[in-house]
Structure 1
């Protein structure tokens, strides 16, 4: 069985978990306190980051590289289009969420409110929190713009782009930082992806000291 070294609220780990689950690849989840001095983990990934996937006798770090490996090795069901144009758009959207959204929103809200406490890195920076709360509105509006033209974020079928976005938003939803009333089309998109069987383990996550809101696991939110 595959093993995934992860942190429950990491959006990068969640993206890999969603890909594994969608492709029905059985995987043991091993929670890794990557911020602690663990020589075994550092050997698995000298970058000292999660996720790290152990599969097919290989040790694979870096979430997007992992997801593309899974796509090539386990192509069904597909999470990438066949054509170059479609693949480009998926990669563009994955990069949008894992780079721009992460820098402007996730790191300002989730990391300040949760990660700092868990890792003992101090108290939340109120300036960062305010910045993240402002920036997420822009990103939700951009998602609404895309979804008014497409069925899914990168086109007419669900792809890794949707999992990347849902990974970040689900982690933020765990701490009630997503205003789902801002856009009906974004809320409808999240309701569709949240109801997939691949999402079940994520909705069951529990982080000590941070109970999720009641709507978090409710499919009819």
Structure 2
């Protein structure tokens, strides 16, 4: 059985889960408290990060590398465009979310409000929370700009770029940190992603001690 070691509110884990589900690859989910750095987990990934996927006799780490492996070995449905320029754009947006958005928003909101408590590292840093709340407005406006002449974030076909963005935003939506009224275009785009069968397991996630926002699992917000 394929196995994914993950954490429910990890956007990197969620990106891989979305790809697996979209490609209809069955996988057993094993919640990993990766910050405890136990020996078994470090043997699976010496970098000490999630997600880790056991599949095809391999143990694979790094969410983007995993998603590209899935794309190459299970090419249907395609999550990267065929055209080189369009593939570049999809990869660029994946990088935007997994680097810039993560450091400016996800780590400062989910990191402070959720991870500090579950990891036992103290109380949220209010300066970081305020910085994340400011930064997400800029990123939502950037998404609005992208969607002005595109059906999906990287073009007219859904791609890994949409899953990367939705993975981060769904974590933030769990804690009600996304102002969906800021942009109708972004809200409509997220509603399309949220209603896909691949999203169902994410909407069922619950983290002990943190109740999801009332609208979190509501497909109509």
TM-score normalised to structure 2 length: 0.99
Structure 1, residues 97-121: CA drift from partner, whole Å, max 9, x if none? 0000000000110000000100111
Give me the whole-angstrom Cα distance separating, in 2, the residues matched to 1:214 and 1:135: 24
When structure 1 is superposed on structure 2, of 41-50 and 31-40 the one drifting more is 31-40
Contact 2:5 2:32 in 1 (8 A): yes
Contact 2:90 2:161 in 1 (8 A): yes
Instruction: Report what 2:57 is aligned to.
Output: 57
1:118 aligns with 2:118: yes
Give the secondary structure class of the aligned counterpart of 1:59: strand
Instruction: Report what 2:199 is aligned to.
Output: 199
Give me the whole-angstrom Cα distance separating, in 2, the residues matched to 1:85 and 1:137: 28
Aligned positions, number: 221
Give the secondary structure class of the aligned counterpart of 2:35: coil
Instruction: Report what 1:27 is aligned to.
Output: 27
Instruction: Report what 1:73 is aligned to.
Output: 73
Instruction: Report what 1:178 is aligned to.
Output: 178
Instruction: Report what 1:165 is aligned to.
Output: 165
Structure 1, residues 5-63: CA drift from partner, whole Å, max 9, x if none? 00000000000000000000000000001111410100100000000000000000000
Give the secondary structure class of the aligned counterpart of 2:180: coil
Q: How far is the alpha carbon of 1:197 from its aligned partner?
A: 0.0
Give the secondary structure class of the aligned counterpart of 1:35: helix
Q: Calculate the aligned-residue CA RMSD, in Å.
A: 0.5
TM-score normalised to structure 1 length: 0.99
Give me the whole-angstrom Cα distance separating, in 2, the residues matched to 1:81 and 1:218: 30
Equivalent residues in 2 for 1:90-129, closer than 5 Å: 90-129=90-129
Q: Which ranges in structure 1 are unaligned for 5 or more consecutive residues?
A: none
Give me the whole-angstrom Cα distance separating, in 2, the residues matched to 1:149 and 1:142: 13
When structure 1 is superposed on structure 2, of 56-65 and 31-40 the one drifting more is 31-40
Give me the whole-angstrom Cα distance separating, in 1, the residues matched to 2:140 and 2:35: 31
Contact 2:37 2:48 in 1 (8 A): no
Give me the whole-angstrom Cα distance separating, in 2, the residues matched to 1:45 and 1:214: 36
Give me the whole-angstrom Cα distance separating, in 2, the residues matched to 1:144 and 1:83: 24
Instruction: Report what 1:145 is aligned to.
Output: 145
Q: How far is the alpha carbon of 1:213 from its aligned partner?
A: 1.3
Give me the whole-angstrom Cα distance separating, in 2, the residues matched to 1:6 and 1:165: 18
Contact 2:173 2:216 in 1 (8 A): yes
Give me the whole-angstrom Cα distance separating, in 2, the residues matched to 1:33 and 1:170: 20
Give me the whole-angstrom Cα distance separating, in 2, the residues matched to 1:84 and 1:11: 26
Give me the whole-angstrom Cα distance separating, in 1, the residues matched to 2:130 and 2:214: 24
Q: Which ranges in structure 2 are unaligned for 5 or more consecutive residues?
A: none
